Copies of this chain bind each other. A is one copy, B any other.
Amino acid sequence: MQTLSQYPAPRPPGGTPSQTEWGNNDILGIAARPYKPHSILCRQDDEEDTIFIIKSGWTLLYRGLPDGDRQIIDTPLQGDIVGFRSVPGPRFASLAAITDAAVHPIPRKALTDLILSEGSFGSKIARSLARTNAIVAEHLVNVGRRNAMRRTAHFLLELEERLTKVGLSAEGGYDCPLTQNELADILGMTPIHVNRTLRELRRAELVSFKTGHVEMLNRKSLIKLAGFEKEYLS
């Protein structure tokens, strides 16, 4: 498995807690904490030494610039580990929930101790980090070398693939709580241009992005346009 997304395994809301490799729904004895939409889990420059493991919901990892701009670095989803750092000290990015979310806040020390005492755990973390690396790297390629259309298309395809892996995508599309503003901060463009671009993609009958839902109209052409290769997400 590529992510830790199987811990805890996806299950229908309200179902009985399933036994997972973590043993139960706690991670290191820490229960998932609920967060409201738009709540901030941590801020860049926080000294507080917590790592977050997402259990459910959508979150944004971003870095704000002095002039008020921000760049969204990743959209951590179910199973993703966020905020692992090489040293204690201030973080460099903020994490916010955009939907209701359940997240395990793990003290860094607890995690590093576990890594030291149990090799298999370290390799799990390392794998998760390697995957994040790949995602952010591809994101960089996207922003650095693809134009608005391809860039947007590529991101929407990435989202679909990631959601599929955690069982949150249907055949023809997927639910997506992102606003066009947030999309702009992900893609490194202005909201106005995002709007234009989404219109184009809709007119070309490739994808339709509208509040709450993304519909794949012609996945094949979209993949071709974006030059999307999903391997980096494995």
Contacts and interface: CB of A to CB of B under 8 A. Distances in A.
B116 A120 contact: yes
Contacts of A66: 227
Nearest to A132: B133
B86 A141 contact: no
Contact of A119 (B116, B146, B227): B116
Query: For the complex formed by this chain, how many copies does it contain in all?
Result: 2
A65 B145 contact: yes
Dominant secondary structure at the A interface: helix
Contacts of A86: 2, 127-128, 130-131, 134, 234
Contacts of A73: 137, 140-141
Interface residues of A, number: 51
Interface in A1-53: 2
A122 interface: yes
B138 A63 contact: yes
A69 interface: yes
Contacts of A133: 84, 129, 132-133, 136
Contacts of A139: 140
A123 interface: yes
Interface of A: 2, 63, 65-66, 69-71, 73, 84-87, 89-90, 92-93, 112, 115-120, 122-123, 125-134, 136-141, 143-146, 187-188, 227, 231-232, 234
